[in-house]
Amino acid sequence: MTERSQLIQPLISTEAIADLRSVVPNLPQTSVRDHSGSPDSVLNTRTSSATRLIQVVLTSLPILLADVIAVCGTYVLASEFTDFLIHTKSGFTLQNNVMALGIGYLVLAMFHGLFPASGMNPVCELRSQVLSIMSAGVLVIVLNALVGEITRNELVCVCLTVPAASVIGPLLRFGMRRLVSRFSWWGEKVVVVGDARQGSRIFRFLKQYPQRGLRPVGIMTRSADEYWSVSTDNDCEFLGTHDELVSVCRKRHCHWVIAAVSDHQDESMRDILSQGSLVPNFIVLYSAFLLPTMWVTAFDAAGLPGIHIRDRLLFPFQRLSKRLFDVTFSACLLIAFAPVLFVICCWIRLASPGPVFFQHHGRIGRHGKTFGAWKIRTMVTNAQEVLTEHLATCAEAKAEWEQNLKLKNDPRIIPGIGHFLRKTSLDELPQLWNVLVGDMSVVGPRPIYTDIEVEKFQELFPFYLRVRPGLTGLWQVSGRNNTTYEDRVRLDTYYVRNWSLWLDYFILLRTIRTVLFREGSY
């Protein structure tokens, strides 16, 4: 018997889970023969299921429409361009290919959970969408190879469609999210339960960004006193205590619950978990530590629940891919923007005497290595004297400088051309050379250069030193100068913790919008 048991590979360790406290669904006391207290009778009634289905369909349809238009429309345009380029017609197969591409994409997108993708991190959503587009393109080629002949037009058309749709598709999807989020019928309802302080912050975030697809209806805490002791938001409705969670969800037709229980005692947390286990979508925010939130997966360790964290900065292939992208991207942009740089140089020389380019020495790069960041000069030649005089005569400006190391109304900037270059970020084009030689990256934290900035990072400064500073970054596309320096530190730290090539791609797409609408620039 002992020899036989050694051949068996159990799924879990019963000894490991023996000390864990069980969470049993909080059902009404019923007899064994009475099934009225089953989970199906709590929230999964016919009415509740129908309401949930309607919510999911209404939230999915606009996004699905945007995706189909982006993918299929891009293929049609690519087909027309291919016919013009090769001077041969693709024939009646265009309709078949468009149908195969559209259906293939929808199946793959549903497999990746892209409909409705409520609450999904935008970067993870971007990755899933691009992978679905790429897989659908491969599927069209494979199907053509199996049922017929792959023409040169079809091959070129797919090769044009995939990269174009990988840019147009996410932009159209995010744009559609922002558009339909203005309507009350779009999105799925969510209740926030647990710690009043953290819960109210989550509520405000979801309320401010309804394009995430989750619409908070209120917050539930251990007691009413706890809620009123920290609540300053009149829009954050108090729904009751957490022992009423199931009844509130049933009454409000809510099928999402976010539980912030990092500071709760065992009994209180057990009650929330037992109630939440009856809700179809139950999110538990348990850790009190700031951990990566992207690219983490659940991990079963002998039956114990864990989180599998993969730090992509520790993978050589990922770092090499980022460096290859930096070199290729910066070289191409330097060549493409050479005429623009020439025009700007002439304009600067006419507007202000002095050198066109300015090298800001002392910037802190990866591993603490200092370098000089190149920029187009947008300030007068005696900028330091002007700044010193201005701060000495204006107490408000001095306070602003000490807090953010920036001035919204900076007297050092050259009138006209200086403001234009800063608002459009064209003054930073020479930093492409810093990227090319390895001092900087295309995407990364904003480079710092003073001891004051180092002090503001405090114990988080080692995160900054792990990567090269970037031309653009999470801070630049999240409000830029309209945010505080503390927010900048948090954003840069989040970027390093969650770095991936997909996060870089997301930031690049957001940079297009930031530059076009001049968000947070002055």
Instruction: Give me the percent of the chain exceeding a pLDDT of 70.
Output: 91
Torsion, Cα 297 302 304 309, to 10 degrees, reads -30
Dihedral sign, Cα of residue 484, residue 488, residue 491, residue 497: negative
Q: How many CB atoms lie within 10 A of CB 231?
A: 18
Note the pLDDT of residue 87.
Answer: 67
Note the pLDDT of residue 202.
Answer: 93
CA gap 190, 177 in Å, rounded: 18
pLDDT confidence band for 208 (50 / 70 / 90): very high
Q: What is the 3-state secondary structure (H, E, C) of 198-255?
A: HHHHHHHHHHHCHHHCEEEEEEEECCHHHHHHHCCCCCCCEEEEHHHHHHHHHHHCCC
Query: What are the E-state strand segments in 50-208?
Result: 188-194
Higher pLDDT, 71 or 378: 71
With 0.85 as the threshold, say if the pTM is over it: yes
Mean pLDDT of 378-383: 83
Note the pLDDT of residue 27.
Answer: 58
CA gap 82, 417 in Å, rounded: 42
Q: Which residues, other chains included, contact 258 with Cβ-Cβ below 8 Å and sequence gap of 6+?
A: 190, 191, 192, 193, 199, 202, 283, 285
Mean pLDDT of 495-505: 95
CA gap 319, 311 in Å, rounded: 11
Specify the range with the lowest mean pLDDT, choosing from 23-32, 61-70, 85-94, 423-432.
Answer: 23-32
pLDDT tens for 246-264 read: 999 999 999 999 998 876 6
Question: Across-strand partners of 357?
Answer: 376
Contact assessment for residue 282 and residue 257, using Cβ atoms and an 8 Å cutoff = yes
Note the pLDDT of residue 220.
Answer: 92
* Domains of the chain, CATH where assigned: 46-180 (no CATH), 188-289 (3.40.50.720), 316-378+413-517 (no CATH)
Higher pLDDT, 21 or 76: 76
pLDDT tens for 382-408 read: 878 888 888 888 888 888 887 777 787
Mean pLDDT of 453-480: 90
pLDDT confidence band for 374 (50 / 70 / 90): very high
For residue 184, give the DSSP letter: T
For residue 379, give the DSSP letter: B
Specify the range with the lowest mean pLDDT, choosing from 111-115, 149-153, 161-165.
Answer: 149-153
Q: How many CB atoms lie within 10 A of CB 257?
A: 27
Q: What is the 3-state secondary structure (H, E, C) of 32-83?
A: CCCCCCCHHHCCCCHHHHHHHHHHHHHHHHHHHHHHHHHHHHHHHHHHHHHH
* pLDDT at 38 > cutoff 60: no
Note the pLDDT of residue 34.
Answer: 47
3-state SS class at 282: strand
Mean pLDDT of 412-416: 85
Contact assessment for residue 244 and residue 252, using Cβ atoms and an 8 Å cutoff = no
Phi and psi, residue 458, nearest 5°? 55, -130
pLDDT confidence band for 203 (50 / 70 / 90): very high
Q: Which conformational region is residue 10 in: left (phi greater than 0), alpha (psi within -120 to 50 degrees), or beta?
A: beta
Q: Which residues, other chains included, contact 114 with Cβ-Cβ below 8 Å and sequence gap of 6+?
A: 63, 67, 125, 128, 129, 132
3-state SS class at 441: strand
* pLDDT at 145 > cutoff 90: no
Distance of CA 436 to the CA centre of its chain: 27
303-314 burial, b for 16+ CB within 10 Å, e for fewer? eeeeeeeeebee
Q: Which residues, other chains included, contact 184 with Cβ-Cβ below 8 Å and sequence gap of 6+?
A: none
Contact assessment for residue 160 and residue 81, using Cβ atoms and an 8 Å cutoff = yes
For residue 333, give the H/E element and its range. Answer: helix 316-336
Contact assessment for residue 237 and residue 204, using Cβ atoms and an 8 Å cutoff = no
For residue 448, give the DSSP letter: B
Tokens of 70: 């982006």
* pLDDT at 105 > cutoff 90: yes
Q: Give the highest mean pLDDT range of 4-13, 21-30, 361-370.
A: 361-370
Q: How many CB atoms lie within 10 A of CB 519?
A: 16
* pLDDT at 230 > cutoff 80: no
Q: Is 70 exposed, middle or buried (0-12, 13-18, 19+ CB in 10 A)?
A: buried
Residue with tokens 């005497």: 353
* pLDDT at 430 > cutoff 90: yes
Mean pLDDT of 360-373: 92
Mean pLDDT of 43-49: 70
Phi and psi, residue 202, nearest 5°? -65, -40
Select from 224, 226, 227, 204 the least CA-distant residue to 216.
204
Question: Across-strand partners of 189?
Answer: 215
pLDDT confidence band for 520 (50 / 70 / 90): low
Is omega for the bond preceding 447 within 30 degrees of 0, making it cis? Answer: no
pLDDT tens for 169-181 read: 999 999 999 999 9
pLDDT tens for 276-310 read: 888 999 999 887 788 888 888 889 888 888 889 99
pLDDT tens for 308-359 read: 999 999 999 999 999 999 999 999 999 999 999 999 989 888 888 888 898 9
Mean pLDDT of 34-60: 72
* pLDDT at 508 > cutoff 60: yes
Mean pLDDT of 479-485: 76
Tokens of 321: 């891919």
Mean pLDDT of the chain: 86
Note the pLDDT of residue 128.
Answer: 96
